[in-house]
Chain A
Amino acid sequence: DAKTTQPPSMDCAEGRAANLPCNHSTISGNEYVYWYRQIHSQGPQYIIHGLKNNETNEMASLIITEDRKSSTLILPHATLRDTAVYYCIVRVAWANNLFFGTGTRLTVIP
């Protein structure tokens, strides 16, 4: 699986949009971009995934650049409950494991 690079930490004001970047310059054509998050003392939680097109669900939006070498996870209106470590993962759909890396620690500030 391709490697990803994420900033170690970010802050965001409550109610504002949180934009979490991820670089995956070595991504191959059949690899998807997945985002998980891990709230303190809990297991990771799936957020969203995409291949080429931008994706949106009830939790977040995923913007993937045209060359697919980077992506941004957007939490449109961050709340205190969104404070967590966010992991960007690239993998083929049928891969059996997830390579998490160290992620981005997002702190939502009141």
Chain B
Amino acid sequence: DTGVSQDPRHKITKRGQNVTFRCDPISEHNRLYWYRQTLGQGPEFLTYFQNEAQLEKSRLLSDRFSAERPKGSFSTLEIQRTEQGDSAMYLCASSLGLADGYNEQFFGPGTRLTVL
């Protein structure tokens, strides 16, 4: 399967714990995106990478959130000191980094986080 993969698919944690999610993009894609989706809402943009550089961050990405893409391939999203409001689906997407053209985003299946 050459699609976007995410691990784990589900995570249950207690409030105050740290969690880390992984995303493996489509291999030739140099752009990677993180979104968050709460129940009944559409996905909301968090951040995106061009290769290993994090080029844009949403105001939704508080100081407790950190994302990395150290070698320009897979990415991790860490949430420190989780809060119940962090409970959501965390979606990863990737796209080709065409300089002046359309960049269709391909989404992974998501990681569902439940903070108790």
Residues of chain A at the chain B interface (Cβ within 8 Å): 32, 38, 41-46, 49, 85, 87, 93-94, 96-103
Q: Which of A93, A97, A101 contacts B102 (CB 8 A)?
A: A93
Residues of chain B at the chain A interface (Cβ within 8 Å): 4, 31, 33, 35, 40-45, 48, 55-56, 58, 91, 93, 100-110
Tell me the dominant secondary structure on chain B's binding face: loop
B107 and A44 contacting across the interface, CB-CB below 8 Å: yes
Task: Find chain B residues with CB under 8 A from A44 CB.
Answer: 43, 91, 93, 105, 107
Tell me the dominant secondary structure on chain A's binding face: loop
Report B103 CB to chain A, min CB distance, Å: 7
A100 and B56 contacting across the interface, CB-CB below 8 Å: no
A-B contact pairs, 9 of them (CB 8 A): A41-B109, A43-B4, A44-B43, A49-B102, A85-B42, A93-B100, A93-B103, A96-B45, A98-B43
